[in-house]
Amino acid sequence: SCKGEGMTWTGSQCCVPNEWTCGAGTIGGCDNQGESWTGTMCCAHEPKQCIAGMQSSCGKDCGNDLVSWSGSQCCVPQFWTCVAGTIGGCNGKDKFWTGTYCCAEKPMHCVGGLSSACQGHGSVFTGTKCCLPPPTTCVAGSMNGCDGKNQLWTGTYCCIDGTQQCYPSAASDCKGPSTSFTGSQCCVPEDFKCWYGSNCEQQGASRAGVNCCSQQM
């Protein structure tokens, strides 16, 4: 079996290029273009992530040339984001159903959510998860509190654009430049320096709960 281009047999092991992705499979299933069978594993000739799925969803007739079936796993591009979902929820543009998981066909940050809420901001709903383009920060909040232009209420979490640091807070204690109130937390950009203090405005800082926060220069 270990005789294809790029494969070397040592006498006890089959060696393949580092960029190949090898995982569980079968000799009968590992016969797609861009795949090689080592004798015990199916190797895709490029970086992939191989996850649970079904041949009926992920086989040669699935209609997506970026996907392959190893005989026991569904192999998809490494940059896709594959999470829990449903076959009905994972039906639409930029989504692929492996038979077990729903894959967003791009890097995404996924959290619990509802279809009715997971809309806009480039979001994708998998059937159980709400996925948003990174960078985004998703934390506890409320539907009424999570209403800023840079925010999305997923139905479960409040997601804010960018990488943020968040602190428990009332709305009245979330004030100043670059603050975002989620309904229960106050978030500021990750590169802000925060410290426990009072009279934040007098120090030219924003208030985030019991902390004063300001951009580091």
Q: Give tens-digit pLDDT for 93-151.
A: 999 999 999 999 999 999 999 999 999 999 999 999 999 999 999 999 999 999 999 99
Q: Whole-angstrom Cα distance, residue 111 to residue 129?
A: 5
Distances (CA, A) of 100 to 33, 62, 66, 84, 146: 23, 14, 17, 8, 32
Q: Which of 96, 33, 106, 100 is nearest to 72 (CA)?
A: 100
Q: Report the run of H or E that residue 180 belongs to, with start and end.
A: strand 180-181
pLDDT surpassing 70 at residue 217? no
The CB-based long-range contact list for 60-69 (8 Å cut-off, 24+ gap) reads 60/32, 64/96, 67/96, 67/98, 68/32, 68/34, 68/35, 68/44, 69/29, 69/32
Q: Whole-angstrom Cα distance, residue 204 to residue 48?
A: 49
| pLDDT score recorded for residue 61 | 83
Distances (CA, A) of 129 to 54, 81, 118, 154, 162: 21, 11, 9, 9, 19
Which pLDDT tens digit goes with each residue over 181-215?
Answer: 999 999 999 999 999 999 999 999 999 999 999 99
Kindly state the DSSP code that residue 203 receives in the 8-state scheme.
G
| pLDDT score recorded for residue 138 | 98
With a CB cutoff of 8 Å and minimum separation 6, the contacts of 145 are 158, 171, 181, 182, 183, 184
Q: In whole numbers, what is the pLDDT of the chain averaged over residues?
A: 95
CB 181 within 8 A of CB 212: no
Strand order in the sheet with 109-112: 109-112, 129-132, 124-125
| pLDDT score recorded for residue 59 | 86
Concatenated DSSP letters of 62-113: SS-TT-EE-SS-EEEETTSEEE---TTTT-STTEEE-SS-EEESS--EEEE-
Handedness of CA 22, 28, 33, 38 (dihedral sign): positive
